[in-house]
Structure 1
Amino acid sequence: AILPPVKLVKEYLNESFILYKPKDIVAGDFYWIAPIDETKAVQTNSTKIDHRILFAAADCTGHGVPGAMVSVVCSNALNRAVKEFGITNPAQILDKVRELVIETFEKSESEVKDGMDISLVLLNTSTYEVAWAGANNPLWIISENELQEIKPDKQPIGKYAAIKPFTSHSIQLKKNQCLYIFTDGFVDQFGGTQGKKFKTTNFKKLLISIQDQSMDKQKEILNSAFENWKGHLEQVDDVCVIGVRI
């Protein structure tokens, strides 16, 4: 119930795909999107609308019902950080979300080690500027056969021994570049002829090899690659991959 409708995603990110494959009926992985529209006065006295959109791929501890319960808490915290507290900077959003999530779990009786890994993008669709922050999950940018990786902070959203503020990264993208955020379910899937993990290196190669395809076609290819790799083996984890062409 917490997933945004595809129509909303396409309205703001028209060249995009979301490959979402829960392991069970309910999931610990989720994707999230929140439009932020600002009207800016320009010198001609007319107004220019800057469309900014926040979107994320998140992975909460566990899958199935326990994972889904944690994901509801985390998704609510994202909504509150943006709508109630008015935060738009991804790193500050993650700081606030962590505070809210820890607060929620501390009210429950059991010793909670639950948390979330997330990659959170703020994209200005007029200027192609990106602000980004990640908890354990990176941001990949692909153009002209090269993959640039922006590394995340190595800490989850949740209780953690060495908590530090999340880092905000600013990137100026160019038309036609593709950016990808994802959870670990795709790369951790066992399969192939020897029943091994798909691994990050193969995932990078796969994305680079399909960079010139339309986003819908990319989704199709990724889905087939995953299913072919998995074969008759059980799906290990929820899968969530988001691709956006600028």
Structure 2
Amino acid sequence: QQKTNDILEVRVQERTLALAQLNNEYTQSVTYASYIQASLLPSISLIKERLNDSFILYNPRDIVSGDFYWYADVQTSTTPHVGLQVLCAVDCTGHGVPGAFMSLVANNLLDLTVKQESVNTPSDVIAFLNKNLAKAMNKEHSEQVINDGMDIIVCSYQPTTKTLYYAGANRPLYLVKHSTLELIEIKAVKMSIGGYTPLTQEWETTTLQLESGDCYYLSSDGYADQFGGEKDKKITTKRLKQLLVQIHPLTMQEQQQALQNYFTTWQGDQKQIDDVMLIGVRV
């Protein structure tokens, strides 16, 4: 009996060591993947240079993230002599490794939009992504249909005229007016990119005339969906919008810190349930 127990104990130890090694190799692989993912994100210094009064609150839930942001300076065929600052916030289906792989596909497609003469507006960007994500995921020809997709905010800003163009797939844009401290929610089309969304789905571009001091915000749903607080409830979009109005007088760096502090306090001992991304820009 003792000999049998000894053999079992040795086998358990061997299995435990093997599992620990596999887990370590997996963690190392995912960590390396996070370096690749991070290298594709626009540098904070670039964002600060182009959108100098801004912040990016970016907290992946896992080592890699399904949320990412994207930036480009663009001249379109309809505005050949005017530079547009294009900023996107993308929330891919899931988080961790599946979300991260989807984010790599989406990032590549966004890079391609800059080279397309037919892509001139934020709604054109979303239509291009919706069409080409289907091709990338082999929706039309593969026996195994991948129904993953993404929500996105696309903003293009013309600094000389202070004109902001917005389109969204399942993610709204929040705008806090400096003169009135009013928060305006510009609603998105209630459809995600990819998944079961038809390739012929129409998207809308909204034009907004901004004034100095106005702030606009792009976000994934991770911040508002975090559980915590005294009653273990979500932060909710209602609280987030109230918070954005309250912190408006602060500098953008102070706003970022205030938003992070609120999130951390609300979360308490709860696990972070999703990737968190919130971007703020002051005109």
User: Same fold judged by TM-score > 0.5?
Assistant: yes
- State the structure with bigger RCO (CA 8 A, min sep 6), 1 or 2: 1
**SS in structure 1 at match of 2:213:** coil
Output the amino acid matched with 2:255: Q
Partner of 2:183: 147
**Structure 1 position 159, deviation (Å):** 2.9
Partner of 1:99: 131
Q: Distance in 1 between matches of 2:272 and 2:117?
A: 38
**SS in structure 2 at match of 1:83:** coil
Q: 1:206 and 1:103, CA in 2 relative to 1: closer, same or farther beyond 3 A?
A: same
Output the amino acid matched with 1:3: L
Partner of 2:279: 242
Aligned length: 240
Q: Distance in 2 between matches of 1:214 and 1:37?
A: 30
* Structure 2: tracts of 5 or more residues without a match: 1-36
* Structure 1: tracts of 5 or more residues without a match: 39-48
Q: Distance in 1 between matches of 2:208 and 2:82?
A: 17
Q: 1:188 aligns with which of 204, 225, 228?
A: 225
Q: Distance in 1 between matches of 2:197 and 2:128?
A: 17
Deviation per CA, 1:161-181: give whole Å up to 9, x if none.
555211111111111100011
**SS in structure 1 at match of 2:83:** strand
Deviation per CA, 1:207-235: give whole Å up to 9, x if none.
00000110000000000000000001100
Deviation per CA, 1:15-43: give whole Å up to 9, x if none.
000000000010000011111258xxxxx
Instruction: Assess if the C-alpha contact under 8 Å between 2:247 and 2:255 holds in 1.
Output: yes
Instruction: Assess if the C-alpha contact under 8 Å between 1:82 and 1:93 holds in 2.
Output: no
Q: 2:216 aligns with which of 166, 179, 184?
A: 179
Calculate the TM-score normalised by the size of structure 1.
0.92
Q: Distance in 2 between matches of 1:63 and 1:8?
A: 26
Q: Distance in 2 between matches of 1:150 and 1:161?
A: 21
**SS in structure 2 at match of 1:73:** helix
**Structure 1 position 87, deviation (Å):** 2.0
Q: Distance in 1 between matches of 2:153 and 2:173?
A: 7
**SS in structure 1 at match of 2:211:** coil
Partner of 2:99: 67
Q: 1:167 and 1:23, CA in 2 relative to 1: closer, same or farther beyond 3 A?
A: same
Matching of residue 15 in structure 1 with residue 53 in structure 2: yes
Root-mean-square deviation over aligned CA pairs: 2.1
Q: Distance in 1 between matches of 2:240 and 2:127?
A: 29
Partner of 1:117: 151
Name which one, 1 or 2, has greater alpha-carbon Rg. 2
Q: Distance in 2 between matches of 1:125 and 1:195?
A: 42
**SS in structure 2 at match of 1:222:** helix
Partner of 1:43: none
Partner of 1:221: 258
Instruction: Assess if the C-alpha contact under 8 Å between 2:74 and 2:114 holds in 1.
Output: no
Stretches of 4+ aligned residues off by more than 6 angstroms: none
**Structure 1 position 110, deviation (Å):** 3.1
Deviation per CA, 1:80-121: give whole Å up to 9, x if none.
112345623100110011111111001666321100001110
Task: Give the strand-richer structure, 1 or 2.
Answer: 1
User: % of aligned pairs identical?
Assistant: 40
Output the amino acid matched with 2:204: T
Partner of 2:162: 128
Partner of 2:245: 208
Output the amino acid matched with 1:69: F
